[in-house]
Amino acid sequence: MTRRLAQVAKKVGVSEATVSRVLNGKPGVSEATRQAVLTALDVLGYERPTQLRGERGKLIGLVLPELSNPIFPAFAEVVGGALAQRGLTPVLCTQTPGGIQETDYVDLLLQQQVSGVVFAGGLYAQADAPHDHYRLLHARNLPVVLVNAPIPGLDFPCVSTDDAVGVEQAWRHLTSLGHERIGLALGPSDHVPSRRKLAAGQAVARAAGGPGLPPEHVVRGMYTMEGGHAAASRLLDAGVTGIVCASDVIALGAVRAARRRGLRVPQDVSVVGYDDSPLMTVTEPPLSTVRQPIDALGRTAVQLLTAQIDGREVVRDEILFEPELVVRGSTGPRAAR
């Protein structure tokens, strides 16, 4: 019981005494707090006390592309906690290769009569992917919030990290260390955040007085360690000494590619990630990376969603949050040649 009280109190952000009052049906607790505590019980998998069983809180779909990239579980934790504080229950939908896909999840969520959906990565971020299931949600006026990419023609609220600022921070950090040949390891060509990162890299390169990035200094691949390894191998063949990656997972693949060539990071090659996923401080070397403001993104997404559920007007333009460069051990001065 004590462990349960502590977990629920932490999830909701109240004292254990408040949780105890709710579970025991005692007065002195607001209805909003009471609902948040009951929802937290559902989310954490605990049975409600017999006298408090009944209709569960409103369901909210949380659609993620994967859980292998640690940035998505971190985002899910923020969103789940913020929803629980408002008496809402998240329904986690994660795509798997060969398994249930995003369009299937949308059908399932509609069948479950969810009150809204938060998408954090998915087909909406791919310009060439089919978007009919998003149009269906829009036609049904279901509250939806997108993270890190809007859908042209649909006015869903969107919260994003400012990729232009992030790439500029990483680029200027590398140039301050003496790197002149800098490459980009990005996601697929139709991936909207990767397109934004490329545009930012081109702009910074031109601002330095050059014609822009040489084609061989831009490599696209999958958001995996294997994709990062392959991309970095091509960039190293092109002679780059600094690599800006579209994710931390790609960056870890880049570090592995450098090492397999007998190169040292950062003495021979500097690598910058993107996300500041959990555990990036304990890699070898610790990863320099652009930190996405996950807490602000998640909490704002929930605020926009609940405002729509309550029938209030919300900002339909994309809201940009500024990232922060975190310098660790994977970047250093360019070695003399």
Q: Which CATH superfamily is domain 1-52 in?
A: lambda repressor-like DNA-binding domains (1.10.260.40)
Helices 294-309/71-85 angle, 10° precision: 40
Mean pLDDT, residues 228-242? 98
Please state which architecture CATH assigns to domain 163-292.
3-Layer(aba) Sandwich (3.40)
Residue 56 has pLDDT above 60, yes or no: no
pLDDT-based confidence at 55, cuts 50/70/90?
Answer: very low
Mean pLDDT, residues 318-322? 97
Residue predicted with more confidence, 207 or 300: 300
Residue predicted with more confidence, 249 or 108: 249
Is 99 strand, coil or helix? coil
Q: Is the dihedral of CA 79, 80, 83, 88 positive or negative?
A: positive
Neighbours of 104 (CB within 10 A): 13
Look at phi and psi of residue 310 and say left if phi exceeds 0, alpha if psi is from -120 to 50, else beta: alpha
For the record, the structure tokens of 143 come out as: 């509250």
Please state which architecture CATH assigns to domain 59-161+293-322.
3-Layer(aba) Sandwich (3.40)
Shortest CA distance to 140 belongs to which of 148, 132, 151? Answer: 132
Residue 245 has pLDDT above 90, yes or no: yes
Residue 127 has pLDDT above 70, yes or no: yes
CA distance 104 to 168: 38
Q: Give CATH 3.40.50.2300 domain extents, the chain.
A: 59-161+293-322, 163-292
The amino acid present at 205, given as its one-letter code, is A
In DSSP terms, 186 is beta-bridged to 220
Percent with pLDDT over 70 in the chain:
95
Mean pLDDT, residues 48-70? 75
For the record, the structure tokens of 271 come out as: 């690598």
Residue 13 has pLDDT above 50, yes or no: yes
Is 325 strand, coil or helix? strand
For the record, the structure tokens of 285 come out as: 């070397």
Mean pLDDT, residues 213-241? 96
pLDDT-based confidence at 287, cuts 50/70/90?
Answer: very high
- CB proximity list for 5: less than 8 A, separation 6 or greater: 16, 19, 20, 23
What long-range pairs does 103-111 form, CB within 8 A, spacing at least 24? 103/130, 103/132, 103/133, 105/61, 105/63, 106/63, 106/133, 106/136, 106/137, 107/133, 109/59, 109/61, 109/63, 110/136, 110/140, 110/142
Helix spans in the chain (H)? 2-12, 16-23, 31-44, 71-85, 102-111, 132-139, 163-176, 192-207, 225-237, 248-260, 294-309
Q: For residue 94, count CB atoms less than 10 angstroms from its CB and return exposed for 0-12, middle for 13-18, buried for 19 or more.
A: middle
The amino acid present at 271, given as its one-letter code, is V
- Of 10-24, 86-100, 128-142, 162-176, give the range with the top mean pLDDT: 162-176
Mean pLDDT, residues 31-56? 69
Degrees (nearest 5) of the Cα angle 103, 107, 108? 115
For the record, the structure tokens of 8 come out as: 């629920």
The answer to whether residues 71 and 247 touch, using CB atoms and an 8 Å cutoff, is: yes
Question: What is the side-by-side order of every strand in the sheet holding 58-64?
Answer: 88-94, 58-64, 116-119, 144-147, 158-161, 318-321
Q: For residue 26, count CB atoms less than 10 angstroms from its CB and return exposed for 0-12, middle for 13-18, buried for 19 or more.
A: exposed
Residue 7's alpha-carbon distances to 32, 56, 77, in angstroms, are 18, 19, 13
Residue 1 has pLDDT above 90, yes or no: no
Reported as half-sphere exposure (CB side, CA atoms, 13 A), residue 126 has a value of 14
CA end-to-end span of the chain, whole Å?
64
Is 55 strand, coil or helix? coil
Mind listing the pLDDT tens digit for each residue in 261-286? 999 999 999 999 999 998 999 999 99
